[in-house]
Structure formats: C-alpha cells, structure tokens
C-alpha cells in the first residue's frame, strides 16, 4: 500500500493498493467485509474528512461486499461511472441511475462483477430533518434521473478538487462547513423529485434481507464445519428451497459455490498470517480433499498454497 498523506489539513487522504491481500477499507463508520473475485488489483480510496461529513471515492475491484453502518450516521452511495454491468445491490441488479441510502446501523450487500468507481458521503450525526427516506435495517435504493445523478457526481468531484487547493488555516472551518452544506443540498435535490419505482420493492424487502442476514450469520459462525442445507434450514425455520433462493438472490451464486470461495479466501488470510502447515489450515476450513483444494486455490489466486505460506512466514 502506498499512502499520500502530506497535504494541508483539509486535503483528502489517498490510499492505493496493488495487492488484494493488503487491501483494507478506510471509510470511517462502516464495518466492512469482502471476498475478492480476482488475484491482482489496482484499487484506490480517496477520503475527505469534513466536520460532520466524510466524502469517499473508491476505485474498487470485482468482489462481494457485506457492510454495516455504525449508529448515528447516514450514508449516501452511488456509482461514479456508467458501465453497462450493474452492481447487484441487496439482491437486485439495475442499469438505471440509482442512489442508495442507509442510516442508524443499516446493512447492505453488493456484488461488483467488474472494477467500479463508487462514491459515498457519510453524515454525522444521522440526518433526520431533511425529508430523506429512512433506512435503518437495510440500505434502500432509489431510481433517479441521469441528469440528477450527474449533478451529484459533479458536486463530489468539485468538492474533492477544491479541498486539494491551498487554503489558510483560518479559512479551513468556513470552507469545510460550506462544502458540507453543498453536499446536503445536492442530496436534497436528488430526493425532492424522486418518485417510488415499482422495481425497488424487491431490494426494499426488509423481511427477505433479514432472512439473508440470519443465514449469513449462521454460516459465519464456523466455516470449518460441514454445511448441510437441511440442518441450516431447520435452525432458521426455513425450507431448503427458500434458503437456497435467498442466497442465490443476494449472492448471485449457489450457497455451496459462495461458501467454497469464502473458505478459500479465509485459508489465504490464515496462510499469510504464518500458519504451521498448509494441510492443517486446509483441514481447519473443511477442505479434506487436498489435491482438489490445491487446484482450486491455484486457480483462484495464481499460486500454490505452499507459496502463499512461504510468503507469510517470511513477513
């Protein structure tokens, strides 16, 4: 990771990553977990911290993301690019211009199939007096116009550019407060003329999202144990079919394919931390067929488990 951190107080901080193993999320107020789809990355996070407001611009990489806001803040998110490949957000893929909002501990899940540029603005304390939609359990997604989204994108770019300009120390508080007010006004404008879209009913389905979160929590308890669909469904009071349908909706893949991908990533993290042996770690995460495990690992990460372990032990 290379960090550029020598700008004036108001200037954004820039974090660059060229190795998926070193990537970390730098956004304050967001508990973040990811599973990558690629071996190598070129990612960047630009973070501008203003009083009561953070502006974040991320050039991301193909991955699964699960995230949750901390309490007492509101977050707005949107893409900064116009690719034809949509993000799967809370189980729904749309190519139309959209904006998402969450507040007070809200969670979301996304699948980003290609490299994307994504912006978020996190306000503290929680915004409750401007007529914005409330979304406390899961983030909600709203359709906007292309022109409206472009205006919001433009404000973010202008704020980041202006924050990088030299400024006297005495002017920093005034400039920062004015930037925050401009951002609030830009979000106001998005929501003032936005009507409900019929397609948005599905990603706003809090009951289904809660079921998915329950499944994810149960599966995360111990990924080293065998996964039996009927046992998981019984614990959650679901039918096996319902459980598989929910996982496919929010993950875009089968339950077992996702678990295998997730286990491989956790094995890699353990190896890089300097484990005792490849065999011990593989077995700890449920890979009993070591030949099949080694092939899958090499296909996913471009190196053998032994090479990863050797690198982890060196560092």
| Short-list 119, 71, 83, 114, CA closest to 99 | 119
Say yes or no: 11 and 105 in one domain: yes
Cross-strand pairs, 120:
56, 77
pLDDT in the model for residue 8: 43
Structural domain ending residue among the three candidates 200, 218, 250: 200
- Residue 297: which domain range? 206-314
Name the helix (H) or strand (E) containing 269: helix 255-272
Say yes or no: 195 and 213 in one domain: no
Say yes or no: 80 and 195 in one domain: yes
246 neighbors 232 (Cβ within 8 angstroms): no
Say yes or no: 213 and 286 in one domain: yes
pLDDT in the model for residue 218: 84
Q: Give the residue carrying structure tokens 């900064």.
A: 80
| Short-list 110, 104, 106, 90, CA closest to 205 | 90
37 neighbors 165 (Cβ within 8 angstroms): no
How many structural domains are present in the chain?
Answer: 2
pLDDT in the model for residue 4: 42
For the beta carbon of residue 198, count every other beta carbon within 10 angstroms: 7
Q: Which residues in the chain show pLDDT less than 50?
A: 1-8
User: Would you call 62 helix, strand, or coil by DSSP?
Assistant: coil
Residue 230 — φ and ψ, nearest 5°?
A: -65, -35
41-96 pLDDT per residue, tens:
999 999 999 999 999 999 999 999 999 999 999 999 999 999 988 899 999 888 88
Structural domain ending residue among the three candidates 200, 232, 252: 200
Say yes or no: 265 and 192 in one domain: no
| Short-list 208, 216, 202, 204, CA closest to 242 | 208
pLDDT in the model for residue 6: 44
Q: Residue 299 belongs to a domain with what CATH number?
A: 1.10.10.60
Say yes or no: 248 and 142 in one domain: no
Q: Residue 160 belongs to a domain with what CATH number?
A: 2.60.120.10
Structural domain ending residue among the three candidates 182, 200, 218: 200
pLDDT in the model for residue 7: 39
Say yes or no: 307 and 194 in one domain: no
Q: Give the residue carrying structure tokens 């749309």.
A: 94
pLDDT in the model for residue 52: 92
For the beta carbon of residue 206, count every other beta carbon within 10 angstroms: 13
pLDDT in the model for residue 189: 92
Cross-strand pairs, 3:
15
Prior bond to 21 cis, omega within 30?
no
For the beta carbon of residue 100, count every other beta carbon within 10 angstroms: 23
Say yes or no: 90 and 174 in one domain: yes
Name the helix (H) or strand (E) containing 303: none
Say yes or no: 177 and 250 in one domain: no
235 neighbors 75 (Cβ within 8 angstroms): no
């Amino acid at each position: 990771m290379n960090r550029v951190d020598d700008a004036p107080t108001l200037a954004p901080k820039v974090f660059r990553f060229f190795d998926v193993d070193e990537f970390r999320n730098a956004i304050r107020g967001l508990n973040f977990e990811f599973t990558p789809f690629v071996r190598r990355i070129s990612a960047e996070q630009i973070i501008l911290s203003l009083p009561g407001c953070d502006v974040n611009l991320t050039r991301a990489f193909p991955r699964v993301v699960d995230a949750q806001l901390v309490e007492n803040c509101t977050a707005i998110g949107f893409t900064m690019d116009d690719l034809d490949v949509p993000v799967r957000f809370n189980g729904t893929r749309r190519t139309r211009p959209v904006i998402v909002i969450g507040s007070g501990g809200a969670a979301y899940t996304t699948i980003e199939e290609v490299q994307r540029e994504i912006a978020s603005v996190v306000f503290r304390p929680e915004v409750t007096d401007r007529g914005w939609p409330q979304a406390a359990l899961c983030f909600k997604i709203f359709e906007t116009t292309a022109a409206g989204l472009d205006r919001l994108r433009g404000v973010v770019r202008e704020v980041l550019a202006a924050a990088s300009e030299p400024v006297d120390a005495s002017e920093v508080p005034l400039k920062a407060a004015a930037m925050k007010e401009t951002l609030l006004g830009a979000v106001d404008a998005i929501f003032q003329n936005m009507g409900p879209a019929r397609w948005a009913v599905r990603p706003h389905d809090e009951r289904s999202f809660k079921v998915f979160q329950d499944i994810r929590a149960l599966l995360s308890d111990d990924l080293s144990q065998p996964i039996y669909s009927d046992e998981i469904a019984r614990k959650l009071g679901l039918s096996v079919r319902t459980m598989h349908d929910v996982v496919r909706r929010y993950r875009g893949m089968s339950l077992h394919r996702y678990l295998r991908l997730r286990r491989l990533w956790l094995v890699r993290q353990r190896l890089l931390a300097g484990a005792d042996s490849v065999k011990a770690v593989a077995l700890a995460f449920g890979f009993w067929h070591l030949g099949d495990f080694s092939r899958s690992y090499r296909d996913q990460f471009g190196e053998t488990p032994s090479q990863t372990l050797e690198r982890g032990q060196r560092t």
